[in-house]
């Protein structure tokens, strides 16, 4: 190195030292804030590097588990045959009519939907309806459904009445009835 290079380094070191000392004297709060920000940045970078290392370690473990896992064959599982009845769309309508007549409870605005059950051994047929009646009538209606319609469940119920003095309830019900899946294609 030449003497001019060494002299320039001494001058730039002295100039930096001068400006740092001046900043500390003139704005000590700003220098402390800057130092805290630098330390926070260093801490955040250290945390990020630790998280990246842990993520890489977990990915390695997941890959090892995937390689060591044995594939499970669906045919090897013994799925029990459910004692469900065959599906007929009118069967649920007739059963609901019988229950409504027996309990003297009216229903309307009924909609039906058949859930696509491609990977399940059963069919799910949903019925959504509005039921009107007194509280005992609606309870009897639901009890009769549970007794008359085998493999049916109440999915949701939401009731309201016109006023506090009214004994008449209007309930929105969603039922599911389960049926055997056809054995053919």
pLDDT at 79: 45
**Residue with more model confidence, 99 or 182:** 99
The full set of domain ranges for the chain reads 3-68, 89-180
As a whole number of angstroms, the distance between CA 121 and CA 179 comes to 9
**What superfamily does domain 89-180 belong to in CATH?**
Ribosomal protein S6/Translation elongation factor EF1B (3.30.70.60)
Q: Which of 176, 164, 180 is nearest to 129 (CA)?
A: 176
pTM above 0.85, yes or no: no
Q: Which of 47-51, 71-75, 143-147 comes out lowest in average pLDDT?
A: 71-75
- Mean pLDDT computed over 4-15: 69
Q: Where are the alpha helices (DSSP H) in the chain?
A: 3-26, 28-68, 89-103, 135-148
Q: Which two tokens stand for residue 144?
A: 């009769």
How does pLDDT run across 108-164, given as a tens digit for each residue?
888 988 887 667 778 888 999 999 888 888 899 999 888 888 788 889 999 998 888
pLDDT at 9: 66
- Mean pLDDT computed over 61-79: 63
Q: Which of 172, 176, 146, 145 is nearest to 160 (CA)?
A: 172
């Amino acid at each position: 190195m030449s003497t001019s290079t060494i002299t320039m380094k001494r001058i730039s070191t002295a100039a930096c030292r001068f400006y740092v000392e001046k900043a500390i004297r003139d704005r000590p709060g700003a220098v402390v804030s800057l130092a805290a920000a630098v330390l926070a940045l260093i801490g955040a970078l250290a945390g990020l590097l630790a998280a990246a290392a842990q993520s890489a370690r977990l990915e390695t473990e997941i890959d090892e588990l995937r390689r060591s896992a044995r594939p499970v064959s669906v045919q090897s599982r013994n799925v029990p045959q459910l004692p469900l009845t065959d599906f007929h769309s009118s069967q649920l309508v007739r059963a609901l009519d019988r229950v409504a007549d027996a309990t003297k409870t009216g229903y309307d605005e009924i909609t039906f939907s058949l859930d696509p059950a491609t990977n399940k051994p059963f069919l799910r047929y949903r019925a959504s309806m509005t039921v009107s009646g007194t509280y005992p009538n609606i309870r009897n209606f639901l009890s009769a459904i549970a007794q008359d319609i085998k493999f049916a469940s109440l999915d949701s119920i939401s009731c309201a009445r016109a006023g506090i003095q009214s004994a008449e309830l209007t309930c929105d019900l969603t039922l599911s009835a389960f049926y055997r899946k056809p054995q053919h294609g």
